[in-house]
Amino acid sequence: MRAYGCPKMLTQRLKELQRYGVVHRESYHEVPPRVEYSVTAADEELLEALGPLGDWATKHIGLICAADAS
């Protein structure tokens, strides 16, 4: 998985995750404006479910990098 290349894309993904209930967004009315994101209970559960997938990716990182290189 590639990192998002620009702040606009990151913001869009965070808004999606907020809409799905995976992250919580807290905005502060300050100058300059500040926003903080935190995980929700749903995110904790999702991370637990994705743990085995992350373990698989770690085990097969060579295969993944070879596919990215081609």
The contacts of residue 64 (CB under 8 Å, 6+ apart) are: 57
Amino acid at 23: V
Domains of the chain: 7-69 (1.10.10.10)
pLDDT tens-digit series, residues 14-32: 999 999 998 999 999 999 9
The whole-model pTM stands at: 0.58
Give CA separation, 5 vs 10, 11, 15, 29, in Å: 8, 11, 16, 27
**Mean pLDDT, 10 residues at a time, over the chain (70 residues)?**
66 91 93 92 89 92 84
Q: How far apart are CA 41 and CA 5, in angstroms?
A: 28
